[in-house]
Structure 1
C-alpha cells in the first residue's frame, strides 16, 4: 500500500512540474503541458500569438475573445482539439481552420454565433465533433454542414428560429444529433431527419413543440434514444415510432399529455427506459397503455403518474377495474373530466319535482 501511494505522489509531482508558462511574447500568459496549451480563464480579448506549432490541444475557453484573425491558427497543422467555449464570438473567418487538417474536436459552445461560413470546416476531413450549444444560430446558418459527411456528433443550442430547411439532414453518416435544451423550436418539418439513416440518438428536449409530424422518425431505423422532454406536446401520432424497431429509450416527461395510446409503441420490442412523468395523464384513459406496460419484459426503467379522483398515483400501480365508465362516456366523450372522474350526462339528471320548482319560484 505504501508503494502505491508513493508512486501516485511522484506522478502528481511530475505533472505539476511539467506545466510551465509557454515561451514567447503574448503566449507566455498560457501554460504549456507537453503538446497541450492552456489559455483558459485568463480574460483574454484576442488569441495570443506564438502558439507552439506542435500544439495538439488548445484551450481558449472562458475568455472575452470577440474576433479571431483568419491566420490565428495557420501554423498549427498538428492541432486535434480546440476549445473556444464561452467567449464573445459573433462571427468566424471562412478560412479559420483551413490549415488544421488533423482537427477532430471543435467546441464553440456559449458564444453569439448566428451563422457560419459555408466553407468553415471544408478542410477538416478528420473532424468528428462539432459543439455549437448555446449560440444564436438559425437553421439557415448551418449550410456549412454539407461539407461534413463524416461528422458524427452535432450540438446546437438556443436556435432562434427556422429560416430554411436544415441542411445537416443530408449527412447519412451522422449517428448522433442533439438539438438540445432551451431552444425555441415550435415546429419541425416532416422530412427533417429523412436522410439521417444512421441516427442513433435525437434530443429535442426543452423546446415549445406542440405537435410532431407522424413520419418525423420514419427513416431512422437505427434510433436507440429519443428525448422529447419538456415540450408542449398534447398528443402523439400513432405512427410516430412505427419504424424505430431498435428504440430503447424514450423521454416524454414534462409535456401536456392527457392520454397515451399503447398503439404508438406497437413496433417497439426492445424498449428498456420510458419516462412519462409530469404529464396531466388521466388514469382511466390509460387502460390499453397500462396493459401494454404489464407485458414489457425488457422495460426496466419506467416513471409516470396519472390522476384518479383528484389523486396522483403511479401508473403501474393503478387498477383499471376501478374505472366504472358508462358506454356513453368512453374515450373521447365530453363527459370525461380531466381529474379522472366522469360528469353525469344531462339526460341522466332528474327533472326537479313541481314542489321544488314552486319553492324556487316563490323565493324569487
Structure 2
C-alpha cells in the first residue's frame, strides 16, 4: 500500500485535467482518476480528515476494518482492479470515496451492488464486460461525480445516473442510440466522452441532451456523417474527429457560439461553406487535419482569438496572402501560436511572407515536405 507521504507526492506530480485534453482519455492506472482542481482538493480534504486536527506526529494511516478479499483499502480508496472479478465485491467500506473495479470480468450491475456507498466520489468500471445495469444500481450514490464506464458492452447509456455526476466516460461500448431524456436531471454534468460507439447522426433523438450545460463533449471514432445540430449550446470544446463527416454547412455551427476548441480532424471534409466559421467568435483552436480540403477555409481572418489551426495532410495547393490574417492592424486580438500546413501540395516557396503577418513567431509555421 502507498504511504501517506508517497500518496501526497503522487498527487503533486499527477496534476491532470482530463476534460481539457484534446485526445481521448485513456486510463492506464487508478491514479488517473482526474487530478484536476476538484479531485486534488478532494484528496487534500481526505488527507486532512485522516490526520485530524493534530499535526500528524507519526500517526499511521487508518486501515479499514473491512476490505473485500484481494482488494487494497486505504485512505478511503478501494482498489479491486485486475482480480478476475465477475461481480461487484461485497463488504466495500461505507466511507469509500474512490472505487477501482477496472480490468475485471463483471457482466452486470445489480440493484444492491453499491448499497451504502453514499460517499463515493469516483467509480471506475473500465474494461469489464458489463451489458446490463439495474435502473436503481446508482441510487445510493448521492455524491458521485466521476463515472468511468469505458470499454464495456453497453448498448445504451444507463438510466437514472446520479444527479451529482460531473464527468462521464463511456467510450468504446456498443451504443447506437441516445434517446430523449437520457441525461434528464443531470444539471451538474460538465464533461461527456462517448467516442468509439457506432453512433450515427440519426442515433441522437431530439432532446437527448436537453437540460445539460456541458463544457466538453467528444464523440470520436463513430459513424457521424455531419456535425449534429442538437448538442448543448454551452459547449466550450467539441471533438468529432475520426468520423465520416464530408462537409461543414452554413447552419451546422450556429448553435455553438461559445466554442473555443473544435476538433474535426480525420474526417472526409471537402468543403466548409462560406460563413460557417463566423458563428464561432471565441474560437481559439481549430483541428481540420487529415481531411480532403483543397483550400484554406474562408473566414479565418475574422476569428479574432484564433491561435492554433491544424490543416496538415489535406489537398491544399495554394495559400493566399489574406487566408489567415485580417487587413489592417489592431483587428486581431491574439496572434497565431501555430499553423500546420505540412502534408499539402502547396509550393511553400511561393507563399508571400506577409501571409503570416499576424503570427507570433516564424517558427509557428509548419510547412514540411509534401510527398504523395
- Scaled to the shorter chain, the TM-score interval is 0.7 to 0.9
Q: Secondary structure at the match of 2:123?
A: strand
Tell me the residue number matched to 2:282.
Answer: 246
Contact 1:91 / 1:115 at 8 angstroms: preserved in 2? no
Looking at structure 2, the residues matched to 303 and 132 of structure 1 have their Cα atoms a distance apart, in angstroms, of 31
Q: Are positions 1:169 and 2:206 aligned together?
A: no
Question: CA 1:39 to 1:22, structure 2 compared with 1: closer, same or farther past 3 Å?
Answer: farther
Corresponding residue to 1:273 among 297, 308, 311: 308
1:179-190 to structure 2, matched below 5 A, reads 179-180=219-220, 182-189=221-228
Q: Offset of 1:226 from its aligned partner? A: 0.2
Mark the runs of 5 or more structure 2 residues left unpaired by the alignment.
Answer: 10-59, 354-369
Deviation track 1:117-175 (CA, whole Å, cap 9, x = no partner) reads 43x21xx2221111111111123357421221220101101231333425443235212
Tell me the residue number matched to 1:42.
Answer: 83
Q: Offset of 1:13 from its aligned partner? A: 10
Question: CA 1:63 to 1:85, structure 2 compared with 1: closer, same or farther past 3 Å?
Answer: same
Tell me the residue number matched to 1:325.
Answer: none
Q: Offset of 1:252 from its aligned partner? A: 0.5
Q: Are positions 1:303 and 2:340 aligned together?
A: yes
Q: Offset of 1:54 from its aligned partner? A: 1.0
How many matched pairs?
Answer: 298
Q: Are positions 1:289 and 2:323 aligned together?
A: yes
Q: Offset of 1:91 from its aligned partner? A: 2.2
Question: CA 1:293 to 1:34, structure 2 compared with 1: closer, same or farther past 3 Å?
Answer: farther
Q: Secondary structure at the match of 1:241?
A: helix
Tell me the residue number matched to 1:11.
Answer: 5
Tell me the residue number matched to 1:319.
Answer: 351
Relative to structure 2, which stretch is displaced further, 290-299 or 272-281?
Answer: 290-299
**TM-score of the pair, normalised by structure 2:** 0.72
CA RMSD of superposed structures (Å)? 3.0
Corresponding residue to 1:147 among 175, 179, 185: 185
Contact 1:145 / 1:167 at 8 angstroms: preserved in 2? no
Tell me the residue number matched to 1:352.
Answer: none
Question: CA 1:134 to 1:167, structure 2 compared with 1: closer, same or farther past 3 Å?
Answer: farther
Looking at structure 2, the residues matched to 113 and 10 of structure 1 have their Cα atoms a distance apart, in angstroms, of 37
Q: Are positions 1:66 and 2:107 aligned together?
A: yes
The structure number with the bigger radius of gyration is 1
Mark the runs of 5 or more structure 1 residues left unpaired by the alignment.
Answer: 1-8, 322-338, 340-364
Question: CA 1:293 to 1:22, structure 2 compared with 1: closer, same or farther past 3 Å?
Answer: farther
Per residue, is there more helix in 1 or in 2? 1
